Chain A
Amino acid sequence: MPLRRRGRGPERRRVLSTSGTIVQFDNVGLRYGTGAETLSDLSFSLRHGGFYFLTGPSGAGKTSLLKLLYLAQRPSRGLIKLFGEDIVTMPRRRLPGFRRRIGVVFQDFRLVTHLSAFDNVALPLRVAGVDEKDLQGPVSEMLAWVGLGHRSSARPATLSGGEQQRVAIARAVIARPELLVADEPTGNVDPEMAKRLLHLFDSLNKLGTTVVVATHDLHLISSIGSFEMLRLDRGTLLDPTGALRHPPRRVDA
């Protein structure tokens, strides 16, 4: 019986993908212009299939760290490996291929204002060249899942803050990214919806996606079964060795 259970799709995928490192930072520093370093001496690694919360006070550098993760920024120094490859020295033309494997929920949503909710969610699939007939179903389904099935033709300006955020999340996960990066993804939704969205991240995580969520909301954290925590303060990781990560990594039941 245990063997059979392990053989089930999602479960098995998770087991396969947990082996290995998806993100590795070595002595990474980031400086905008000539100012002080926003991030300094970051060294850590993220497991394939892990669920990570990134916390820390405002201005600690959470968003900057996420920018490095979703390839919007190159570090000023240090080494970053993503999906096993050095992305610091990688030629620019290879980056789009890597970006397509990453889903991002931006803090300010960044919905395309002149596209409908449906078209916003469909964007990553269209960028990746998915056929129109193959994307209708998944996009509608995803919109229904975040509770916006009835608003698929609405423009972002006519949606509330929470609705916009749900569109942004649907857009980030629609292409089943290997790495999902979310910056305060539940800041504008009610606690019920926040739980629902976290549950969505969790299901995605169980399918093998590595999830990194930056958040202030510590209540949120309790709704996820198994996770690890990264704490940033003034641009440095509070427990660079990972020994202090709270709570210690649980062994799956």
Chain B
Amino acid sequence: MSALLQTMGAADRRLLPEGRLSGPMPWVIAIMMFLTVLAAAAGLGLGGAAASLGAGLGNRVTVQILEPNPDRREAEADRAVDRLRALPEIESVRRLPPDEMAELLEPWLGPGGLEGDLPIPAMIDAQLIPGARADALRPAVTATAPSARIDDNGQWLAPLGRLISALKWLALGLVALMIAATAATVVLAARAALDTHRGTIEVLHLMGATDVQVARLFQRRIALDALFGGLVGFTAAALALILIGRRIGALGSDLLGSANLPATSWLALALLPVLGVGLAMLVARATILRALGRML
């Protein structure tokens, strides 16, 4: 990027002195970039969480056979498994083996708590094909296993999923607003630069400098400011995200764990400062060309 800026400005650099970081503009951009990266990270993280939520639990159905008589329970469970396997909506079916059940219940019953004649339901874990609805299974399963209770995980996860996706859209909306605010900042900065250098611009203009030549001088400075601000903001945001990631990791929750950002998301976030510089240059150029257009 800096090589591009150098070749672009080499010829024009001597028309105006080298652009120094001017006033609060780079810092405003740094703050904007910090918030933008955080919002984008939240959006990406929530998107990831929503996806893994859907993939992990939302598409699953748990069938419990509540029959108290162990023999009949076994028979019903076998029939239910066979029936489920035959259904087109089902991708895979698995009956939870007793030792897995024991493990799940251990916190409540203690080790060996299942040894007695405590009646516990048989559990069948079924994975639906994408898009299938759990309601469709109910008649078929209850016909073969009258004591079956079907828990649709998607049903109780749906409000959570909707909340996460709403938050995701909110985060992306914030990113869009930040970008608009950054563009507005650049417009103000470009106008301020034009005012400061009005005399110089008029002289250059009357010497036959083209609008594009003049615009390039300012575009370059503003791009450097934006680059500085972008890098500072991005670095700060990245540190904050790493810190938050550690805290979330320390919670040890599976659902929140998926909020940790994969490499592709980091790459997308790293593109934000680059996009910021490009946006700043375009906006500065447009602003300056418009102002120059008002001169004869």
Contact = CB atoms under 8 A, between A and B. Distances in A.
Interface of A: 70-74, 92-93, 95-102, 104, 110, 112-115, 119, 122-124, 126-129, 132
A33 B239 CA distance: 58
Given A71-B296, A110-B199, A127 B17 contact: no
28 contacts: A71-B206, A72-B206, A72-B296, A73-B296, A92-B296, A96-B209, A97-B208, A99-B207, A99-B208, A102-B208, A104-B206, A110-B202, A112-B16, A112-B199, A112-B200, A114-B200, A115-B16, A119-B14, A123-B15, A123-B203, A124-B207, A126-B14, A126-B15, A127-B207, A127-B209, A128-B208, A129-B11, A132-B14
A127 B213 contact: yes
Interface in B174-212: 199-200, 202-210
Given A104-B206, A127-B209, 17 more contacts: A70-B206, A71-B206, A71-B296, A72-B296, A95-B296, A99-B206, A99-B207, A104-B207, A110-B199, A112-B16, A112-B200, A113-B200, A114-B17, A119-B14, A127-B15, A127-B207, A127-B208
B230 to A, nearest CB: 27
Contacts of A128: 208
Contacts, number: 61
B211 to A, nearest CB: 8
Contacts of A98: 208
A172 B119 CA distance: 104
Nearest to B203: A110
Contacts of A93: 210
Residue from B14, B200, B202, B206 with most neighbouring chain A CB atoms (10 Å): B206
A92 B294 CA distance: 10
A127 B201 CA distance: 12
Contacts of B17: 114-115
A113 B213 CA distance: 19
B218 to A, nearest CB: 14
Given A123-B15, A126-B15, A129-B11, A100 B296 contact: no
A97 B61 CA distance: 77
Contacts of A129: 11
B208 A74 contact: no
A71 B296 CA distance: 8
A95 B293 CA distance: 12
Nearest to B204: A127
Nearest to A97: B208
B207 A74 contact: no
A128 B14 CA distance: 13
A110 B208 CA distance: 15
A123 B202 CA distance: 13
A217 to B, nearest CB: 24
A57 B204 CA distance: 30
Contacts of A100: 207-208
A115 B197 CA distance: 12
Interface in B228-275: none
Nearest to A132: B14
B207 A122 contact: no
List of 9 A-B pairs having minimum Cβ-Cβ separation, nearest first: A100-B208, A99-B208, A96-B208, A127-B209, A96-B210, A127-B207, A124-B207, A112-B200, A110-B203
Contacts of A132: 14
Nearest to A131: B11
Contact of B207 (A92, A113, A115, A123): A123
A124 B14 CA distance: 12
Residue from B14, B200, B208 with most neighbouring chain A CB atoms (10 Å): B208
Residue from A92, A100, A127 with most neighbouring chain B CB atoms (10 Å): A127
Contacts of B11: 126, 129
B255 to A, nearest CB: 59
Contacts of A110: 199, 202-203
A124 B202 CA distance: 13
A180 B11 CA distance: 26
Contacts of B205: 99
Contacts of A101: 208
A101 B293 CA distance: 21
Contacts of A92: 293, 296
A97 B213 CA distance: 13
Nearest to A135: B14
Nearest to A74: B296
Contacts of B202: 110
A129 B210 CA distance: 11
Interface string B11-24: 10011110000000
Contacts of B209: 96, 127
A92 B209 CA distance: 12
Contacts of A104: 206-207
A116 B88 CA distance: 83
Contacts of A113: 199-200
Contacts of B15: 123, 126-127
